[in-house]
Amino acid sequence: MTATSDLGAARPASPDLLRSVFRRHPAGVAVVTARGRSGPVGFTATSLASVSAEPPMLSFGVSTGGSSWPVMAETDHVGVHLLGEHQQDLAATFARRGADRFGPGTAWREGPEGVPVLDGVPAWMVCRVTARVPAGDHRIVVAEVLLGDPTGHGRPLVYHQGRFSGLPD
């Protein structure tokens, strides 16, 4: 065991510390969508995780301060789309506050359960929301996968060091 003085540049927990640490952790990029009363909503998520194989379940975090939260708080179904490295602009659009996320630059269609399904993604799933777990200023949404399509093309898009990029060759 080393002495506490050997901890180098250790800092107390803070939002900045968490962001600094996770900038060093590459994460896959997804867009989560849902149908709202006033139209479709969606956001970019780097918190997507597989939860269970039997039944097939996943989770993602959503900010309670984000524009998509009111719909995510009530919807029964969501679309989860894994983005490809060719979709950096799409990821940025769904991450930007005030953006017209389903405007002319976004190709999509209404899918099963009325969920907006994005075109041209490497993979997508439609899921039934089973839980919303409070976690600070976010909720962890747990959802059961109902159906999906893993046959799209493209290498994965990742988020690392504060930007979207492809995997190195």
| Count of Cβ atoms closer than 10 Å to residue 50 Cβ | 10
Question: Environment class of residue 9 by beta-carbon count within 10 Å: exposed (0-12), middle (13-18) or buried (19+)?
Answer: exposed
pLDDT tens figures, 70-116: 999 999 999 999 999 999 999 999 999 999 999 999 999 999 999 99
Pairing label, strands 27-28, 157-160? antiparallel
pLDDT in tens, 24-81: 899 999 999 999 999 999 999 999 999 999 999 999 999 999 999 999 999 999 999 9
User: Cα-flanking dihedrals φ and ψ of residue 164, to 5°?
Assistant: -85, 140
Whole-structure pTM value: 0.92
Tokens of 125: 């799933």
Confidence of residue 160 (pLDDT cuts 50, 70, 90): very high
Identify which of 49, 26, 8 has the alpha carbon closest to the alpha carbon of residue 161.
26
Residue pLDDT, tens place only, 6-22: 777 898 999 899 989 98
CA distance 158 to 26: 6
Residue 137: both structure tokens together: 């200023």
Domains present along the chain, CATH in parentheses: 28-150 (2.30.110.10)
